[in-house]
A and B are shown apart, each in its own frame.
Chain A
Amino acid sequence: MRPILLQGHERSLTQIKFNAEGDLLFSCSKDHIINVWFSHNGERLGTYDGHNGTVWTIDVDSQSRFLVSGSADNQLRLWNVANGKCLYVWEFPTAVKRVAFNDDDESVVCITEQRMGHQGAIRVFKINRDGDGTDQPSEPEYMFNPVGSKATVCAFTYTPNLILTGHESGKVALFDIVTGSEVENNERAHMDTVTDLQLSPDRSYFLTSSKDKTARLHDTKTLRVLKTYTTETPLNSASLAPNRPYVLLGGGQEAMQVTTTSLRQGKFETRFWHKVLEEEVGRVKGHFGPINTIAVHPVGTCYASGGEDGFVRVHHFDESYFRAKPYGDLDIED
């Protein structure tokens, strides 16, 4: 495994994303900058400058044409991937914590934080793909305020108008964006804040990570918990490895406690767990701070992790990773 260290950020990473082909890797950080890299050699292609606060979240559409980003400067921005130009800016009363495209790239969902008397809101914007992309509707197509615990993460499902949300209380829910009503929920999905939510390629199941030290695999339709992966450290991110039956979990102690504990106790490792058998398969060391975000290449040939230490590490899997059968000849559907 050949790790490539991407040293383009000055502060801790918040989210990293591969594009649909997996040749580009987007990363955002608390240093207000969004970077894009070639995933096969780690060369930096460019930056997206303009945000004036921590960039919490990014997402790229399936054609690698548009990039959306959400930031602590209360803005949601739409960028042209190819030339780094900012195409449109939406302003909100509070910070944007999570953005996501839907599967036909027509809509973007975003979560804004509950702060300073403003309620947490989920907004869905229609993206006008005609022209150069600067002509966007300023008002959201749908907007609603989920009641109860704060939403922290969200994503579109394969069913139109249904989104998945993860909440601070550990709840996972399905919302209808048209009516703003909760269609389905699982209050006890986690015991603590849901920190990440990533869907399978066909969006029929999804993986969540949580501060309660577990990651869980859920059925999108029923929100039933299918698998649980219990670790000994709070988790910040969890990702599914395509074509291999593994899940990748990352975390570590709270950033504020890092200085008081040694590297060894911190457990700043990426853990590989068997998706179906719920057993730990291996670990990859490297970061010297908690891992904040993990993304796997869409074909599963490499993965990247972004840490509190400000580095992104891209690991290309060795040949042996694809050949090894640690549990014997088991034919597992992806």
Chain B
Amino acid sequence: MAVSNSTLHHTFDDELDFTDIESKYHVDLDDGLDNVIVADGIPIIDKSKLEKLLAKIAKEFTRKGAAIKPDDIFVPWDNASGKSKGFIFIDAGSADAAAFAISAMHGHPFDSKHTFLLNRFTDIEQYANMDETYVEPKTEDYHPKEHLRAWLADSLGRDQYVTYRGDDVEIHWHGKSSQCEIAYSKKNWTELYASWSPLGTYFATLFRQGVRLWGGPSWEPQQRFAHPLVKLIDFSPAENYVVTWSHDPIAVHPNLPQGPEFFSPEDEGNNIAIWDIKSGHLLRTFPTSLLEGEDPLVKKQMQWPALKWSADDKFVARVTPGQQISVYELPSMGLHDKKSLKIEGVVDFEWCPHGDKDKDDTDKAAKSGKAPKKAKENMLAYWTPEVANQPARVTLLEFPSRRILRQKNLFNVTECKLYWQNHGDFLCVKVDRHTKTKKSIFCNLEIFRVREKDFPVEVVELKDTVTDFSWEPKGERFAIVSSSDPNLGNPGPGITIKTDISFYQLDRAKNDFKLLRILASRTSNTIRWSPRGRHVVLATVGSSTKSELEFWDLDFNSEERREGQAVEWGAGIQHLGSADHYGVTDVEWDPSGRYLATSASAWRHTLENGYAIWDFRGQEIEKHILDRFKQFIWRPRPRSLLTKEQQRQIRRNLKEYSRAFDEEDAAEESNVSAELIAHRKRLVDEWNAWRARCKRDIADEKRSRGQRLDSGGGDGEKEEIEEWIDDVIEQIEEEVD
């Protein structure tokens, strides 16, 4: 079953839940008695004192601000004794006035013996009509939950991907050609787009009413977050929290359901909301941050993700540009240490990601139940621009101790970009620098080696502008796209910018980064490393004329290298293949690094939309041209549970495994072709049978009309065309007598 949701009425097959809309537009039936108050504790009197009493009550009420007139009071009489009953009805004029009068006069001491007790008439009626018998709430049956990571246990070891086309969302299995099948599909599963959580556990779809998470083999709803008109979502790295953003500020309607899963009046006007995935509770909301003195009407590109998560989900931080970084602790979402990090001029920051080793350590610590001796702290890097006489500065900061680990001053800086290697071994700061005249821009790469003592920094100086930078996952290499094209920066239709791609690697002996290889005058503008490193794809994306994909292997002769250590620098780089996918807009590796998916999305253009899947060598495996194709995403996989030792074991015995796989492949191939031939045979047989029937029908028809049955007979014969060519060579006229 879904994570228990407070909405008891929700059924499984309801795709969309309209309860929030229903409750929003629910009209309270106005029974017209909201303005009537029942006041108890009135002195019991006879008729002679009535006028005086009413005047006094009216005066008491008016004194507290709830003005009523004696005419508004109705006094019920006990006809038997001729005295009043001790309570009165007051018409306060309106429901609001009644509410105010109750809050002001309830418990008001009238005299020493009498205290006013005020209630709404409607309340009294409601409680009087209440059913007295106690109904025991029904205990819900226990439904065992489906395993959210069941797809990992697929016996064929296949990966999944999702496609979104038109209104259809489909989840596919991807394996060998015979194993590709649709795992699940649903119409109108999302209204905007779809997304996977970072470890692939949840599938998120966006609706007008909010976000919904799905999971398990039968794709049951797991959680929902009621954020109306949500546009963007972002998961925390460990899938504990989710951040949603809507362009429209949160508005809380009085009729909306209340509870920890819903917005409360304090959240009104905010745009960003943070939710706990497991409980579905709303943790906190924020407004979209604005720069100081910035006109809110002037639209600026919003930074997304607006909140950045530390790798262990313990902290989330957001930057107020120019002023501070605010770090919040989870799950309380309170400001850490009750104060933000005040940093004059701060522009941007990034958390250091955790490597496999860090994760192993924390797992071990969690298992043994005691904190490690010296818990590794989180780290974040931020940069501040040049202000007055101060140089620009990149800082590494430890958190939560807030200790500055390393600072580096930089000059003539226009812009900095921070790139962490995905295991947190290196930090590259791409510094766009200008010459003194500020006319031309060139680029420096400042690379921090984070795992080493004192954080040594290497500088790679480049003459060109760097448009893209990408670390090899888990590796010591990176690739950059640089360009000296004069058209850079002023894109026009039909202009394809010439670029150079360079690969760099850490030279262990000298401890600096050296150029491995430069690929000059390409058009590629996108680098996609395989998630397992080694392979890389260079793509030309977003161009109307070029759409090349280049597949490269950076350790082509890695087998030999293991024996003879000394190998020529950069010799392992090998071009594996080239391909072309017209109009490609997205390029994505599958989580295993074996396949690459390219797609042309209808969100960008409408020419030849669809997707293709390639293997790592650039061989096309499948290609689908589909109208209105929008989105393709591989389902991410969580980290392997195998230990390093087990992985090494598998690698050692790879040959034996592959023998078994090869046999399977061969068997399958023959199977497939047999199936295909049988299928074709069936189609042809059906067709021939239908044709025979048709011919009989026509013959019958013609016979009944008394026509000759010759048509069709003569058509098959070939006609001989004889061309007579008379060449007149000589013409002699002779006169014959």
Is A44 an interface position by the 8 A CB rule?
Answer: no
Stretch in contact with the other chain, from B47-55, B313-321, B712-720: B712-720
Residues of B with C-beta under 8 A to A264: 582
Is A277 in contact with B680, judged by CB distance below 8 angstroms? yes
Interface string of B702-737 (1 = CB under 8 A from A): 100100000110011011010000000000000000
Measured CA separation A160–B707 after assembly (Å)? 12
Residues of A with C-beta under 8 A to B701: 158-159
Residues of A with C-beta under 8 A to B680: 277, 327-328, 330
Is B721 in contact with A40, judged by CB distance below 8 angstroms? yes
Is A332 an interface position by the 8 A CB rule?
Answer: yes
**Known A-B contacts A330-B680, A333-B687, A333-B691; A158 and B608 likewise in contact (beta carbons under 8 Å):** no
Is A331 an interface position by the 8 A CB rule?
Answer: yes
**Known A-B contacts A277-B683, A298-B715; A333 and B698 likewise in contact (beta carbons under 8 Å):** no
Interface string of B677-694 (1 = CB under 8 A from A): 100110110011011101
Among A103, A158, A205, A334, max chain B CB count under 10 A is at A158
**Known A-B contacts A232-B608, A328-B677, A332-B688; A204 and B582 likewise in contact (beta carbons under 8 Å):** no
Is A276 in contact with B687, judged by CB distance below 8 angstroms? yes
Is B545 in contact with A299, judged by CB distance below 8 angstroms? no
Measured CA separation A175–B683 after assembly (Å)? 31
Is B698 in contact with A265, judged by CB distance below 8 angstroms? no
Is A332 in contact with B687, judged by CB distance below 8 angstroms? yes
**Known A-B contacts A264-B582, A327-B680; A202 and B721 likewise in contact (beta carbons under 8 Å):** no
Is A276 in contact with B684, judged by CB distance below 8 angstroms? yes
The closest CB in chain A to the CB of B583 belongs to A265
Residues of B with C-beta under 8 A to A334: 691
Residues of A with C-beta under 8 A to B608: 232, 265
Is A21 in contact with B719, judged by CB distance below 8 angstroms? yes
Q: How far is the CB of A326 from chain B (nearest CB, A)?
A: 11
Residues of B with C-beta under 8 A to A40: 721
Residues of A with C-beta under 8 A to B692: 333
Measured CA separation A75–B457 after assembly (Å)? 85
Residues of B with C-beta under 8 A to A331: 684, 688
Is A265 in contact with B582, judged by CB distance below 8 angstroms? yes
Is B374 an interface position by the 8 A CB rule?
Answer: no
Is B625 an interface position by the 8 A CB rule?
Answer: yes
Tell which of A205, A243, A262 touches B545, judged by Cβ atoms closer than 8 Å.
A262
Q: How far is the CB of A229 from chain B (nearest CB, A)?
A: 14
Residues of A with C-beta under 8 A to B716: 243, 299
Residues of A with C-beta under 8 A to B544: 262
Q: How far is the CB of B445 from chain A (nearest CB, A)?
A: 38
Residues of A with C-beta under 8 A to B683: 276-277
Is B335 an interface position by the 8 A CB rule?
Answer: no
Q: How far is the CB of B680 from chain A (nearest CB, A)?
A: 6
- Chain A interface, DSSP helix/strand/loop, else mixed: loop
Residues of B with C-beta under 8 A to A21: 719
Interface string of B491-502 (1 = CB under 8 A from A): 000000000000
Is A139 an interface position by the 8 A CB rule?
Answer: no
Is B698 in contact with A158, judged by CB distance below 8 angstroms? yes
Tell which of B607, B715, B719 touches A265, judged by Cβ atoms closer than 8 Å.
B607
The closest CB in chain B to the CB of A226 belongs to B690
Is B697 in contact with A204, judged by CB distance below 8 angstroms? yes
Is B373 an interface position by the 8 A CB rule?
Answer: no
Is A23 an interface position by the 8 A CB rule?
Answer: yes
Measured CA separation A33–B627 after assembly (Å)? 38
Is A261 an interface position by the 8 A CB rule?
Answer: yes
Measured CA separation A332–B607 after assembly (Å)? 36
Measured CA separation A326–B662 after assembly (Å)? 28
Query: Contact size class for B?
Result: 20 to 34
Query: Contact size class for A?
Result: 20 to 34
Residues of A with C-beta under 8 A to B698: 158, 202, 204
Residues of B with C-beta under 8 A to A286: none
Residues of A with C-beta under 8 A to B691: 333-334
Q: How far is the CB of B184 from chain A (nearest CB, A)?
A: 24
Residues of B with C-beta under 8 A to A219: 690, 694
Q: How far is the CB of A170 from chain B (nearest CB, A)?
A: 15
Residues of B with C-beta under 8 A to A201: 712, 715
Residues of A with C-beta under 8 A to B582: 264-265
Residues of A with C-beta under 8 A to B705: 160
Residues of A with C-beta under 8 A to B370: none
Measured CA separation A262–B545 after assembly (Å)? 9
Is A221 an interface position by the 8 A CB rule?
Answer: yes
Interface string of A294-323 (1 = CB under 8 A from B): 000011000000000000000000000000
Residues of A with C-beta under 8 A to B719: 21-23, 299
A206-232 contacts to B (CB < 8 Å): 213, 219, 221, 226, 232
Is B684 in contact with A332, judged by CB distance below 8 angstroms? yes
Is B300 an interface position by the 8 A CB rule?
Answer: no
Is B721 in contact with A23, judged by CB distance below 8 angstroms? yes
The closest CB in chain B to the CB of A159 belongs to B701
Interface string of B612-654 (1 = CB under 8 A from A): 0000000000000101000000000000000000000000000
Measured CA separation A332–B719 after assembly (Å)? 23
Is A299 in contact with B715, judged by CB distance below 8 angstroms? yes
Residues of B with C-beta under 8 A to A103: 711
Residues of A with C-beta under 8 A to B510: none
Q: How far is the CB of B493 from chain A (nearest CB, A)?
A: 10
Residues of B with C-beta under 8 A to A221: 697
The closest CB in chain B to the CB of A62 belongs to B711
Q: How far is the CB of A105 from chain B (nearest CB, A)?
A: 13
Q: How far is the CB of B362 from chain A (nearest CB, A)?
A: 51
Is B712 in contact with A202, judged by CB distance below 8 angstroms? yes
Is B695 an interface position by the 8 A CB rule?
Answer: yes
Measured CA separation A262–B607 after assembly (Å)? 11
Measured CA separation A265–B608 after assembly (Å)? 8
Residues of B with C-beta under 8 A to A298: 715
Measured CA separation A277–B683 after assembly (Å)? 7
Is A261 in contact with B697, judged by CB distance below 8 angstroms? no
Q: How far is the CB of A243 from chain B (nearest CB, A)?
A: 8
Interface string of A251-289 (1 = CB under 8 A from B): 000000000011011000000000011000000000000
Measured CA separation A243–B712 after assembly (Å)? 12
Q: How far is the CB of A230 from chain B (nearest CB, A)?
A: 9
Tell which of B627, B694, B711, B712 touches A205, judged by Cβ atoms closer than 8 Å.
B694
Is A213 in contact with B627, judged by CB distance below 8 angstroms? yes
Tell which of A158, A232, A277, A332 touches B625, judged by Cβ atoms closer than 8 Å.
A232
The closest CB in chain B to the CB of A243 belongs to B716
Is B690 in contact with A261, judged by CB distance below 8 angstroms? no
A111-156 contacts to B (CB < 8 Å): none
Could you list 22 A-B pairs, sorted by A, with CB under 8 Å?
Answer: A21-B719, A22-B719, A23-B719, A103-B711, A160-B705, A201-B712, A202-B694, A202-B698, A205-B694, A219-B690, A226-B690, A262-B544, A265-B582, A265-B608, A276-B687, A277-B683, A298-B715, A299-B715, A299-B716, A299-B718, A299-B719, A331-B688
Known: A158-B701, A202-B695. 10 other contacts (CB 8 A): A23-B719, A160-B705, A221-B697, A261-B607, A265-B608, A298-B715, A327-B680, A330-B684, A331-B684, A332-B684
Nearest 3 interchain pairs by C-beta: A333-B691, A204-B694, A232-B625
- Residues of A at the B interface (CB closer than 8 Å) are 21-23, 40, 103, 158-160, 201-202, 204-205, 213, 219, 221, 226, 232, 242-243, 261-262, 264-265, 276-277, 298-299, 327-328, 330-334
